[in-house]
Amino acid sequence: MERLATDLVGDRAEGWDTAGRLPLDVLRELGTKGVLCGQVPTSYGGLGLSSTVNGELTAHVGSLCSSVRSVMTSQGMAAWTVERFGAEEQKAVYLHELTSGRLAGVAFSERGAGSDLGAMGTTIRKDGDTVVIDGSKVWVTVGAYADYVVVFGRYEQGAAAVLVPTDAPGVSVERVADPLGCRAAGHADIRLDSVTLPVDSLLGGAGLPVDWLVTSALTFGRVSVAWGCVGILRACLRAACGHAATREQFGSPLAGHQLVARHLAELHVAQEAAARCCEQASRCWDEGRPELVTAAVTAKHLAAGNAARGAATAVQVLASAGARDGGPVARAYRDAKLMEIIEGSNEISQLLLGKHALAVWS
Ligand code: FAD
């Protein structure tokens, strides 16, 4: 699968980033081969990868192109939500679609509900044998390419998720213009005006507490983003070490200057630490351990911070050679910053981890 991703992405990530578009045929092909949601069990048409193996695949894709990796994270979250909350018939239909080239995103965020997802205003209500959805979602990754969006909203006393086809009447999709990073990931704002679907679009578990429903999907996303950050760090290491080994200033390769060597050392440590933290989170996922939720936040928080600082370091090592828009370290610099915002910002992660630390250590 890594070979397939390498062949399909090749050296095209820079062009995609500059154009702000991914070719749909590449996404369909990756989707058909199961790469976009590799953890879907084989019984539903997926590759049945463990979190650990899928994590390494995610890091590989992330090292090539963070926009494609973003699609992978979103598709994986959508598939996981169906697998976790869907009834058997829903899983049989939708998971087969998501492993056959159909694309899906997940929609939590709204203008008034970013970090505070408890403030979501989107409503989902049953009306006879249909379900009606009203609301506006923002920044939905893959939204511009997606066949489906898993929309989260208020339902009865709690929350629910609905699988909404993007061509359903009442759905309008508007691409986010000029995002800072992951520019080709197809971020879109999505309006849902009295979207009426058969009641079996409502995923089981409807009426669950909002935190519970959202945390389940976000935990998958956090592990995936964290592995994506490991990929960013590997791309930065490759670029920074390659450059420092070959470019000479003051009569020796840059790597021979100790202050530059220190940058390389710090990048190496950042990658190693992030990878070990991701392995721990994936191990918790694969073994069904209760520490998973905290391990996922820890991995995402550490990996995103390391990637943001590491990418800045890589730009420093390449200097003017890294200062061209679209190049690997310039992309990494912009993409990594966004990893500190999504799936729980740095501050939200710190609040969660602070609470955990108090519970364990006080
Ligand atoms: P706000 O919530 O307004 O926060 C602004 C700042 O205040 C942040 O630094 C935040 O950490 C801080 N802050 C907020 N509350 C607290 C607090 N209690 N204590 C301390 N600090 C606080 N959403 C989706 O639903 N689906 C997607 O696929 C998706 N993809 C995205 C992709 C990208 C590239 C980006 C940028 C966003 C995406 N989002 C998506 C939205 C993303 O989840 C939100 O941007 C994120 O949750 C933060 O919300 P906000 O931007 O409204 O910031």
In the block, tokens 């409807």 appear at: 206
Q: What confidence tier does 205 reach under pLDDT thresholds 50, 70, 90? A: low
Query: Residue 64 is part of a domain; what is its CATH number?
Result: 1.10.540.10
Ligand 1 closest atom vs CA 77: 28
How many angstroms separate the alpha carbon of residue 245 from the centre of ligand 1? Answer: 39
CB atoms within 10 A of CB 170: 15
**Phi, psi torsion values for 127, nearest 5 degrees:** -140, 95
Closest Cα to atom 44 of ligand 1:
114
Same domain, 194 and 267: no
Closest Cα to atom 49 of ligand 1:
114
Same domain, 23 and 79: yes
In the block, tokens 């959805």 appear at: 133
Same domain, 59 and 193: no
Count of domains observed in the chain: 3
Where is pLDDT greater, at 11 or 261? 261
Burial of 303 (C-beta count, 10 Å sphere; 0-12/13-18/19+) = buried
Same domain, 235 and 338: yes
- Whole domain around residue 342: which residue ranges? 210-361
Ligand 1 closest atom vs CA 347: 11
Residue 54 has a pLDDT of: 97
How many angstroms separate the alpha carbon of residue 304 from the centre of ligand 1? Answer: 14
Task: Using most ligand atoms within 8 A of CB, pick from 342, 346, 349, 350 the residue to mutate for ligand 1.
Answer: 342
Q: What confidence tier does 315 reach under pLDDT thresholds 50, 70, 90? A: very high
Same domain, 345 and 226: yes
Where is pLDDT greater, at 207 or 231? 231
Q: What integer is the mean pLDDT of 46-65?
A: 97
How many angstroms separate the alpha carbon of residue 111 from the centre of ligand 1? Answer: 10
Helix, strand, coil percent values for the chain (each to nearest 5): 60, 15, 25
- Going by C-alpha positions, the residue among 137, 196, 205 that lies closest to residue 165 is 196
Same domain, 59 and 124: no
Find out whether the beta carbon of 78 lies less than 6 Å from any atom of ligand 1: no
What whole-number distance in Å separates Cα of residue 83 and Cα of residue 217? 11
What whole-number distance in Å separates Cα of residue 132 and Cα of residue 253? 64
Residue 3 has a pLDDT of: 86
pTM here is: 0.97
Ligand 1 closest atom vs CA 180: 34
Q: Report CA torsion sign: 202, 207, 212, 215.
A: positive
Find out whether the beta carbon of 105 lies less than 6 Å from any atom of ligand 1: yes
Mean pLDDT, the chain, as a whole number?
A: 96
Q: What integer is the mean pLDDT of 56-62?
A: 97
User: Dihedral, CA atoms, 220, 98, 152, 49, nearest 10 degrees?
Assistant: -10
Please say if the pLDDT value at position 4 is more than 90. no
How many angstroms separate the alpha carbon of residue 76 from the centre of ligand 1? Answer: 20
Query: Residue 298 is part of a domain; what is its CATH number?
Result: 1.20.140.10
Same domain, 232 and 350: yes
Radius of gyration of the chain (CA): 20
How many angstroms separate the alpha carbon of residue 127 from the centre of ligand 1? Answer: 32
Closest Cα to atom 42 of ligand 1:
342
Q: What confidence tier does 261 reach under pLDDT thresholds 50, 70, 90? A: very high
How many angstroms separate the alpha carbon of residue 39 from the centre of ligand 1? Answer: 26
Q: What integer is the mean pLDDT of 258-266?
A: 98
Same domain, 231 and 356: yes
What value of ipTM does the predicted structure carry? 0.98
Percent of the chain with pLDDT over 90: 93
Range of lowest pLDDT (62-71, 138-147, 200-209, 262-271) = 200-209
Same domain, 59 and 169: no
Residues 181-198 pLDDT 10s: 999 999 999 999 999 999
Q: Which of 80, 103, 126 is the last residue of a domain?
A: 103
Query: Residue 124 is part of a domain; what is its CATH number?
Result: 2.40.110.10
Q: What integer is the mean pLDDT of 72-88?
A: 96
Contact present, 46 and 34 (Cβ < 8 Å): yes
Same domain, 144 and 238: no
How many angstroms separate the alpha carbon of residue 342 from the centre of ligand 1? Answer: 6
Closest Cα to atom 18 of ligand 1:
348
Same domain, 236 and 114: no
Same domain, 192 and 246: no
Ligand 1 closest atom vs CA 345: 11
Q: Which of 137, 171, 201 is the last residue of a domain?
A: 201
